[in-house]
Amino acid sequence: MEKEIRNMRNKIRHLKEKQDLMKRERMAFKMSLKNQQAALKDEKKKYKELKREVDKMAAMMKEVGSDEDEDEEESEEEEEEKSETEEETETETEQDTESETESESEPEDAPLPKKKENLMTRVKRHETRANALKKGNALLMANVDRMQDDVLKQREESVQLKKELDSLIDDLEIQDAPHLTNKLEQRVPVEVYKNN
C-alpha cells in the first residue's frame, strides 16, 4: 500500500510538471498567434494601400471616380475590427476558465486507504487537466498554422497587385502618355510601390 501511494504521488508530481510545460507552450502559441494576427493586419493594410493606388491609376486612365470602392473598403475595415474584438473577448473568457484550484494534499495522519482514495481522485483530476491542455494546445497550434497561411496568401496577393501596378505603369509609358505617367509617379508613394 505504501508503494502504491508513493507511485501515485510521483505520478501527480509528473503530471503537474507536464501541465506546467503545456501551459508554457500554450502561452508561446498565444504569443505566436498574436504576432501572426498583427502581421496579417499589416499585410492587409499594405494590400489596401496598393489597391487604392491601382484603383486611382485605373480611374485616371478611365477618368472615373472610385467612391464606391472606398465605401466598401471602410466597411471591410469595420468588420476586421469587430472580429479582432471578438477574438480578444474569447481569449479573456479562456483565461477566466483556466483559473484552477490546486490539489489538496491529504493529512499525514490519515489512514492509508483514505490517502490512496484521495490520491486516486487527484491523479484523475490532473490527467483530465493534462488532456484538456493537450487538446487546447493542438487547437492553438492549428490556429497559428492557419494564420501563417493567411499571411502568406495575403503577401502573394500583394505581390500580384504590385505586378498589376507595374503593368499599368508600363502600359502608360508604352502609350506615350508622359503627362499621365508624371502625374501617376507623383501620386504613387515610393514606399507603397516598392516590394517589401
Q: What is the pLDDT of residues 123-153, one digit of tens each?
A: 999 999 999 999 999 999 999 999 999 999 9
Give the span between the Cα atoms of 124 and 120, in whole angstroms.
Answer: 6
pLDDT, tens digit (0-9, with 9 covering 90-100), for 67-78: 444 445 555 555
Q: In 3-state terms, what secondary structure has residue 106?
A: coil
How is residue 177 written as a grid cell? 502618355
Residue that the C-alpha cell 516598392 belongs to:
194
Q: How confident is the model at residue 19 (pLDDT cuts 50, 70, 90)?
A: very high
96 has pLDDT over 80: no
Whether 30 contacts 140, CB under 8 Å: yes
What is the pLDDT, as a whole number, of residue 167? 82
Q: What is the mean pLDDT of the chain?
A: 76
Output the pLDDT for position 102. Answer: 47
pLDDT over 90, % of the chain: 40
Confidence of residue 3 (pLDDT cuts 50, 70, 90): confident
Weakest-pLDDT range from 106-110, 137-141, 171-175: 106-110
What mean pLDDT is predicted for residues 77-100?
50
DSSP string for residues in 7-60 = HHHHHHHHHHHHHHHHHHHHHHHHHHHHHHHHHHHHHHHHHHHHHHHHHHHHHH
Which pLDDT band, with edges at 50, 70 and 90, does 99 fall under? very low
The answer to whether residue 21 scores a pLDDT higher than 70 is: yes
